[in-house]
Amino acid sequence: MKCSMYRFSSAALWLPGVLVALFTGSATAAPFQNGSFETNTGSAAAGWSNTGPIVFTSDEGATDGTQSAIFNGANQVPSAVVWQTFDTIPSQNYFLDFDFGKYAAGSPDTIIQQLQIEVRDGASPSSGGQLIVAGSGTTNGASGGTIFSNTSTPQVRDSSGAVINSLQFSHFTFQFIATSGTSTLVFRDQADGTVNTDGALDSVAVTVPEPASLTAFAAAGLALMRRRRHTE
């Protein structure tokens, strides 16, 4: 109802606010979008910004639709960063969910595919405070974010229910609390090698948890919650 009120306001009322937002850089972004990377040009994905060796493709598997984000493909040095700035509500709790997997052309291999996960206050991938307050995965407390190693091998199923065999995906959940109207989610490639193996990201979702879910999240722990989700 609040939106309707602003929508039907006269231009004289909302224009000054827009101008202030433009000149102060505090304009809101957009709702979180394209978390499954289905809308892409191969080198870019709608709603996301990226640098370094990353492609969006169906070549190596997906857990939703056909497309995923592939890090350090073609034996390139792991250094890609992909990020999205989206609207958030200050003081609101959010869940960040995604699937991250390791593609391996030969097995076994000893290279670890890993990502640094950050949710930052503001519209930049390199500034603003870190907002993540809890998370799953094996964390090592890297400066400015959280790195987890995808050395476990639980499999998740794609949207058709089929187990993905060529790529070992794991599901991860993080909780963050927004502090302003715009937040930026950042994934940084931190693989410790690249030859014959790539990292794959898909099914990224930012959701507002039900109060009961948040309580359960804190009480039961992230690992338990993940197990429940995948055995239901």
CB of 71 to Ca ion, least distance (A): 7
Q: Can you give the three-state secondary structure of the chain, one letter per residue?
A: CHHHHHHCCCHHHHHHHHHHHHHHCCCCCCCCCCCCCCCECCCCECCCEEECCEEEECCCCCCCCCCEEEECCCCCCCCCEEEEEEECCCCCEEEEEEEEEEEECCCCCCCCCEEEEEEEECCCCCCCCECEEEECCCECCCCCCEEEECCCCCCCECCCCCECCCEEEEEEEEEEECCCCEEEEEEEECCCCCCCEEEEEEEEEEECCCHHHHHHHHHHCHHHHHHHHHHC
CB of 158 to Ca ion, least distance (A): 9
Of residues 63 and 85, the one with the C-beta less far from Ca ion: 63
Of residues 103 and 217, the one with the C-beta less far from Ca ion: 103
By the criterion CB under 5 A, which residues form the site for Ca ion?
Answer: 36, 62, 64-65, 67, 72, 194, 198, 202
Q: Distance between CA atoms of 135 and 223, rounded to whole angstroms? A: 9
Of residues 44 and 177, the one with the C-beta less far from Ca ion: 44
CB of 146 to Ca ion, least distance (A): 22
Of residues 38 and 130, the one with the C-beta less far from Ca ion: 38
CB of 108 to Ca ion, least distance (A): 16
CB of 102 to Ca ion, least distance (A): 10
Of residues 64 and 118, the one with the C-beta less far from Ca ion: 64
CB of 43 to Ca ion, least distance (A): 16
Of residues 102 and 226, the one with the C-beta less far from Ca ion: 102
